[in-house]
């Protein structure tokens, strides 16, 4: 079985969904350490004047807190309503905005306790929009705690627990994983090689590596085909 193991990020980029669509199973790596100011809580969109970052504020917590334990902070109002207002202003003139606005707006109008609930609601809704049918499971349902010091063993244990014998991983993972150990465990591993595609986009020159919603609002039903063209 071919699988991908990814941390749940906020409004992910195109390559994230290429990896999900290219796999039989998507394992949400939800019980490893949260990284502050990472893509887990922020992403970028294109507005009429600039590239804007949308960041979900979180409650103060220790460095060892797991991703699935991170709580959203509402100390300064509802950040999700502010995010939706920014998104709507940026994309209301996009060709396919009206096709998907109700689905996404309903997510941003909810109030979530945890960041993972928000991120997974968005990821699963976007998969549905893109017609990606990959099975989604959570790492925490298979292994409760991982070693902090051995990333390779953690991934191998997770693959073995789920039945993944072909792992599709992000390119950056090749820098820290011990590939020989995957071979010893009869797990084939392939790293993503992705060339970001161009597509029709509002507001002057094309900008790559934005949130997936930039593509969806501009290209609609063509989105998955465009995503997969980057393989």
Q: What is the mean pLDDT of residues 74-78?
A: 93
pLDDT of residue 212: 98
Alpha-carbon distances, residue 41 vs 94, 98, 118, 219 (angstroms): 25, 26, 10, 25
Domain ranges of the chain: 2-228
Task: Please say if the pLDDT value at position 188 is more than 80.
Answer: yes
- Mean pLDDT of the 63-89 span: 95
For 25-73, write each residue's pLDDT tens digit: 999 999 999 999 899 999 999 999 999 999 999 999 998 899 999 999 9
Q: What is the pTM of this model?
A: 0.95
Q: pLDDT band for 105, please (50, 70, 90 cuts).
A: very high
Residue 174, pLDDT score: 83
Q: Give the rounded percent of residues in the chain with a pLDDT score beyond 70.
A: 99
Task: Please give the residue that has the higher pLDDT: either 11 or 174.
Answer: 11
> Can you say whether the dihedral through the CA atoms of 91, 96, 97, 100 is positive or negative?
negative
Q: What is the band of 173 on the pLDDT scale with cuts at 50, 70, 90?
A: confident
Q: Which residue has the tokens 């103060």?
A: 60
d(C-alpha 155, C-alpha 167), whole Å: 9
pLDDT exceeds 70 at position 148 = no
Q: Are 72 and 12 a contacting pair, CB within 8 Å?
A: no
Give the model's confidence band at 181: pLDDT under 50 very low, under 70 low, under 90 confident, else very high. very high
């Amino acid at each position: 079985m071919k699988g991908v193991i990814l941390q749940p990020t906020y409004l992910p980029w195109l390559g994230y969904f290429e990896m999900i669509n290219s796999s039989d199973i998507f394992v949400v790596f939800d019980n490893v350490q949260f990284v502050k100011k990472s893509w887990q809580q922020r992403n970028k969109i294109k507005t009429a004047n600039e590239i804007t970052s949308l960041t979900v504020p979180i409650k103060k917590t220790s460095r060892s807190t797991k991703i699935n334990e991170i709580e959203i902070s509402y100390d300064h109002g509802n950040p999700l309503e502010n995010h939706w207002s920014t998104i709507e202003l940026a994309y209301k003139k996009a060709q396919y905005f009206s096709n998907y606005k109700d689905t996404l707006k309903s997510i941003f109008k909810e109030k979530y306790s945890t960041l993972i609930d928000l991120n997974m609601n968005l990821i699963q809704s976007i998969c549905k929009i893109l017609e990606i049918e990959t099975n989604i499971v959570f790492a925490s349902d298979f292994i409760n705690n991982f070693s902090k010091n051995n990333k390779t063993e953690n991934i191998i244990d997770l693959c073995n627990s789920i039945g993944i014998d072909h792992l599709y991983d992000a390119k950056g993972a090749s820098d820290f994983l011990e590939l020989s150990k995957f071979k010893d465990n009869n797990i084939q591993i392939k790293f993503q090689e992705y060339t970001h595609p161009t597509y029709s986009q509002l507001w002057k020159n094309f900008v790559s590596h934005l949130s997936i919603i930039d593509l969806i609002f501009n290209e609609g039903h063509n989105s998955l085909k465009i995503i997969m063209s980057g393989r």
